[in-house]
Chains A and B, each alone.
Chain A
């Protein structure tokens, strides 16, 4: 039984991104996160996402990243629909709405929605690129190299490793319940599927913590490490480049792409309507699927 749905785990490979130093990759990820948080305009964020996606495709993980991003589509659609209809943020007074039947569509709200969605997308693409091309042990060693406190580092690494394990667990449990004639979808499958998964997860965590403590986890003193991450001059240059690019992005984001929240007014009405219609179809489709699942239960 494979994992249930797309899996966020290391994909084996020998591409340039796989071979790149994990510390360098983390430096670029940190730069991207700060750039995304400092930038409001969706266009540079979308450009960053496309560049990240191109890197993932060239590393042979485009399909795996794409499958995970599909989960993001309903979230992005809901953000766009809600922000366009009832903007939480736009310059006062809000730009004149575009009329679509009984609805007033606010271009400023749509810009804000696009900005939020593009921020999430940019960070998600680059994070997936790093996670899927870096072995968890290398990631752990890289974080240690970056002087991340050991306990925090361990928690991050364990959490990332538990995600695919739990996904497989859910797939196994669903298979076991389907084998006893249970419907495989719908609200009715929630309890038979998730009680064993959560019970198993708690048991696993409990056993793991006992196992860790019995092997002196948390003891004082300096730890040694079997796995070491090299950090040569070229790696220093590339990592610095990532941080500098991130810093430049932050400055550009604040100076050029952040202050003007009325940028949404420049969106052509036709584009506002087209984006809204597509987002609404996805959004309503997800709601309809949810209602159908509840009714089937």
Chain B
């Protein structure tokens, strides 16, 4: 990531009011996302997270302000045009899946982009392999369990090879194994230089993969920084009712005997405990 490079996504003083509502879902949001960055968006339900992400691929157009993707304003641009650059994975996979087989589902997006069949077949095989879906390619998506369906819905967007991926609550309702697969997938996307915007309540996921965390409340960005910076801000946590990962809360509870910021991972906590000598307290007594 080059911090001096122009942002791939730039929101300037964006306000959005739903046609049927009288409340601003977004109110004066200014945000820049750098190429290759994994940005997590957190906040309570109704804080504007999903509305924010729907502006990125043109599903919504701002009421005021501007949204630029890859240097071009999204105003007047069609979703289908932006889909080439911005892949969007919806929270509910059932909203996406319709084809008679997983292979057809994975091929749907690339075909819409006009990619030739040989290339589509190659992409389907490659992505199916990466997602562990090769054995399911002939299966009907609705005959698969929910976790696998979720993977299919993500894979069906990855085959389009967008430079920006938006994932709305990717781990919600997932079993431990699929959540782990999704975490590894996000690492993979980051490794491939793809910019990722991930809306999530799952703080373990956020801490594991995000370079930057944006916290929203009533349509505004109320905090942003690295997950470590944001999760160390007690006032923000209290105001937005964000709960840090369990290990971080344990670290905070033990912080009386330890130095430095709260741990975000088990390894960090172990290191801090050992460094502070707390691991020997039980044995000495």
Contacts and interface: CB of A to CB of B under 8 A. Distances in A.
Given A175-B59, A179-B59, A183-B80, A199 B20 contact: no
B80 A182 contact: yes
B54 A180 contact: no
Given A178-B80, A196-B96, A196-B97, A1 B142 contact: no
Contacts of A199: 94, 142
Interface residues of A, number: 24
A192 B92 CA distance: 15
Contacts of A200: 94-95
Given A2-B19, A192-B108, A199-B142, A180 B95 contact: no
A192 B79 contact: no
A181 interface: yes
B84 A180 contact: no
Contacts of B142: 199
A73 interface: no
Contacts, number: 74
A176 B86 CA distance: 12
B160 A2 contact: no
Nearest to B83: A181
A68 B191 CA distance: 50
A217 to B, nearest CB: 25
B174 interface: no
B251 interface: no
A170 B88 CA distance: 17
B90 A176 contact: yes
25 contacts: A1-B54, A1-B59, A2-B18, A2-B19, A2-B20, A3-B20, A172-B90, A173-B95, A173-B96, A175-B90, A175-B95, A176-B95, A178-B59, A179-B86, A179-B157, A180-B96, A180-B108, A180-B160, A181-B83, A182-B112, A183-B80, A184-B79, A184-B80, A196-B96, A200-B95
Contacts of B112: 180-183
Interface string A177-193: 11111111000000111
A184 B58 CA distance: 13
A195 interface: yes
Nearest to A177: B96
Nearest to B57: A179
A176 B54 CA distance: 10
